[in-house]
Structure 1
Amino acid sequence: MSSARDRFRQVPPPPGGGKSAHAYTRFIPREELSSFAAWNPGSLGGEAEAAAAAAAAEPQKSPEELQAEALRSARQGGYHDGYRDGLAALESFKQSFAQQATAQMGALMQSYAAQMDELQQQMAGALADAAVSLARQVVRGELQANAQQVAAVAQEAIEALLLSARHVTLRVHPDDQPLVAQGAAEILEARGARLVADAALTRGGCLVESDIGIIDASIESRWRRAAAALGSEAAWNGEEPTP
């Protein structure tokens, strides 16, 4: 009985062929092999030992090289940390800037609104002053052209007085006295009112006194009511109102 080594020997087949010819294994020359690698018993196990042996076979780095590698690693880490911190700082700055811009814009809009309100008030005041000045000129011209209207004013003032009033006195400017005496004679007689000239009154107005009160129908009083309707406090004589 042949051994395993004899069975696997690569030898030419015996002459004559026979069944043993099927067990022939041909020897393959090196030139016919496209690629091959030497088998190493260590490839079936012991990778850690092989790696350790390979590492031991590598040349050892000098302290300068190790220091350089450590420096490069530190720089790379510093770069990444700095980049991350820079992005965080940029985002924080953007948020802070947006908040400040929003606050400044809000303050600007409030200031603009306040200035617009003030401008509108000034324009309204100027318009009211112009209207009051024009109205004053019209009233003065009307008083000079139709002085007899003071009689109608006096009659309305007396009619506004309660019928129960006693001791009625009608005061008018001396220049208006004859006009009122003629134009309001009936009402004066019906109410038993006295007509008194008073130089302290402005032409065109009158003052009614009685035991129950006073009715002020002077030019100044009527003008204040008319000017107030226009949003103005301008006095009849054109002077600023006394605070």
Structure 2
Amino acid sequence: MSSNSIIPKEQLTAYQRWELAAFEDINELAAGATPADAAQPLPPDSLPGAEPAQEEAAVEVEQPAQNIPYPTAEEMEALHQQAYQDAFGEGQKAGFEKGFEQGLSEGRQAAVNDVEQMTSVLAVLERANRDFESSMAEVVLDLALALTQQMLRQVLPVKNDILLPLIREALASLPQVNQHPRILVHPENGKVLRELLTADIAHFGLRIIDDHTIQPGGCKIEAGSSEIDATVESRWSRLLAALGRNGDWFEVS
């Protein structure tokens, strides 16, 4: 068959696929058919397994594809911007939360460090204050001792009766036995004491002895095996020892 025998699509009618029937059906058809029937083509619906031609044509006709419009450049750009903004927002939120937690942690640590530094500074200042107070106390004490010594050096030579309370207190502390106490004093003090202690001299049998080695304002009392050293040097040394100092009355302050 040449290409000129091809029937155009517009002239086609419904058709039916030919299928080989079973041998029993073919025999029955052949037995009952007449020559006229054999010359006539079988209707499409009479063959076994045949379906309506319209339905077959409907199956064979291809449905044209729907035209789906592609997004424009503006729509693509808008989608891109929206996706970018969404991603940026999520990233910004996550970054903010992470940064907030990190900043809070760093802030707390910085506060702890500041408190520790401030505590250290306060401790240093407190130690410095104590040292300053201690050093100032030492300075003030030294100054007070120096002033006291200078005052005593000026007062004792002229205040000849300054020993009277001290001598009476010392005599009262001595054992009450038959003994005659001896009082060694500077000659300037001895003159005054002999006048002021007239009654005590008679009562205790006191003897006032002048001794130039004893500084004015001081004395020594001897009674048997007992001795009271009330010299200015001894009393000054005991005062310095009580204040944690070492010194000598003869040292010029």
Q: TM-score range by the shorter chain?
A: 0.5 to 0.7
Aligned length: 165
Number of the residue aligned with 1:235 = 248
For residue 172 of structure 1, the aligned residue among 185, 194, 201 is: 185
Partner amino acid for 2:132? L
Residue aligning to 1:217? 230
Match of 2:159 among 146, 162, 170: 146
Superposed displacement of residue 211, structure 1: 1.7
CA distance in 2, matches of 1:194, 1:168: 6
Distance 1:3 1:170 in 2: 168
- Secondary structure of 1:175's match? helix
Percent identity over paired residues: 23
Q: Which residue of 2 aligns with 1:127?
A: 140
Report which structure shows greater RCO (CA 8 Å, sep ≥6): 1
Supply the distance in 1 between the matched residues of 2:205 and 2:151 (Cα, whole angstroms). 34
Q: 1:152-183 CA deviation, whole Å, 9 max, x = no partner? A: 43333223322226242111112222122112
Does the 8 Å CA contact 2:184/2:221 hold for their aligned counterparts? Answer: yes
Report the counterpart of residue 66 of structure 1 in structure 2. none
Structure 2: gaps spanning 5 or more residues: 1-45, 69-108
Kept after mapping to 1: 8 A contact 2:184/2:220: yes
Of the three residues 220, 234, 239, the one matched with 1:207 is 220
1:76 corresponds in structure 2 to none
Structure with max Cα Rg? 2
Matches within 5 A, 1:1-243: 2-4=47-49, 6=51, 10-11=55-56, 25=58, 28-31=61-64, 33-34=65-66, 114-164=127-177, 166-227=179-240, 232-238=245-251
Residue 160 of structure 2 aligns to a residue whose secondary structure is coil
Name the stretch that deviates more: 176-185 or 3-12: 3-12
TM-score, with normalisation over the residues of structure 2? 0.51
**For residue 22 of structure 2, what is the aligned residue in structure 1?**
none
Query: Do the aligned partners of 2:183 and 2:220 also contact (CA within 8 Å) in 1?
Result: yes
Q: What secondary structure is seen at the aligned counterpart in 1 of 2:187?
A: coil
Q: Is contact 2:156–2:162 with CA below 8 Å preserved after alignment?
A: yes
Unaligned runs of 5+ in 1: 13-24, 37-94
Distance 1:210 1:35, change over 3 A: same
Q: Any runs of at least 4 consecutive aligned residues in structure 1 with deviations exceeding 6 A, and if so which?
A: 104-111
What TM-score does the superposition give when structure 1 sets the normalisation length? 0.52
Going from structure 1 to structure 2, the CA distance change for 1:167 and 1:7 (only over 3 Å counts) comes to farther
Counterpart-to-counterpart distance in 1, 2:53 and 2:125: 106
